[in-house]
C-alpha cells in the first residue's frame, strides 16, 4: 500500500516514522531485535545503569511502552536490572548475551542506515537529522510535564 499525503504535521511525521521503523525492523529481523530494542541496547551499552525514567526521557518514550519493551528485552536475557537506593528505582544494564546480540545486529543496522541514506541520496541527511532533533527538543519544551 502506498502512503497518502496527510494534511497534518503530526500525522505526516508519524506516517514517515512507521515506514522507516518497518524498514529497520526488516533489516534487523535476522538478529531477533526490533529497532526499538536495538536502540535501547545501544543506549544502555553506552550508558549502563540508567533508570527506567531516564531511558524514557532520553528516548521520549511513553513509560508504559518502555516498560513493556524492557520486559521483552529482559526476558530475552539481553538486559538485567538492579535495585537502586530507593527500592522503587531500577537500574538497567546490558548482559553479556545482550552485548553479543548488539554486536550481531550492528552490521544489519549499518546496512539499514546505508540503504536509507542511498534511498534519500538527494537529501542532506545531516541537516535532516539536525532538524528532526531540533523539532524533538522544541516539542519536548512545549509538552506538559508527565503526571
Q: What is the pLDDT of residues 52-95, one digit of tens each?
A: 999 999 999 988 999 999 999 999 999 999 987 887 888 999 99
9/58 Cα distance (integer angstroms) = 23
Number of other CB atoms surrounding residue 31 within 10 Å: 18
pLDDT digits 0-9 by tens, 4-41: 999 999 999 999 999 999 999 999 999 999 999 999 99
CA 126 to chain centre: 19
- Nearest CA to 68 out of 99, 22, 37, 31 is that of 37
Which residue stretches of the chain are H helix? 9-28, 35-46, 52-59, 63-75, 96-119, 125-142
What confidence score (pLDDT) does residue 141 get? Answer: 85
Cβ 84 vs Cβ 51: under 8 Å:
yes
Q: How confident is the model at residue 147 (pLDDT cuts 50, 70, 90)?
A: very low
Give the separation between CA 74 and CA 76, rounded to whole angstroms: 5
> Quick one: pLDDT at residue 146?
55
Domains of the chain: 27-98 (1.10.10.10)
Residue 146: CB atoms within 10 A of its CB come to 9
Global confidence as pTM? 0.88
Amino acid at each position: 500500500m502506498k502512503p497518502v499525503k496527510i494534511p497534518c504535521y503530526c500525522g505526516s511525521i508519524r506516517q514517515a516514522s512507521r515506514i522507516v521503523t518497518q524498514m529497520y525492523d526488516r533489516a534487523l529481523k535476522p538478529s531477533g531485535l526490533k529497532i526499538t530494542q536495538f536502540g535501547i541496547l545501544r543506549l544502555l551499552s553506552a550508558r549502563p545503569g540508567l533508570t527506567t525514567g531516564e531511558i524514557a526521557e532520553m528516548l521520549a518514550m511513553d513509560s508504559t511502552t518502555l516498560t513493556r519493551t524492557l520486559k521483552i528485552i529482559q526476558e530475552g536475557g539481553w538486559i538485567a536490572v538492579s535495585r537502586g537506593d530507593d527500592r522503587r528505582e531500577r537500574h538497567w544494564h546490558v548482559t553479556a548475551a545482550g552485548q553479543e546480540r548488539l554486536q550481531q545486529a550492528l552490521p544489519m543496522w549499518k546496512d539499514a542506515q546505508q540503504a536509507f541514506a542511498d534511498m534519500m541520496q538527494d537529501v542532506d541527511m545531516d541537516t535532516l537529522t539536525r532538524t528532526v532533533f531540533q523539532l524533538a527538543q522544541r516539542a519536548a519544551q512545549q509538552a506538559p510535564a508527565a503526571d
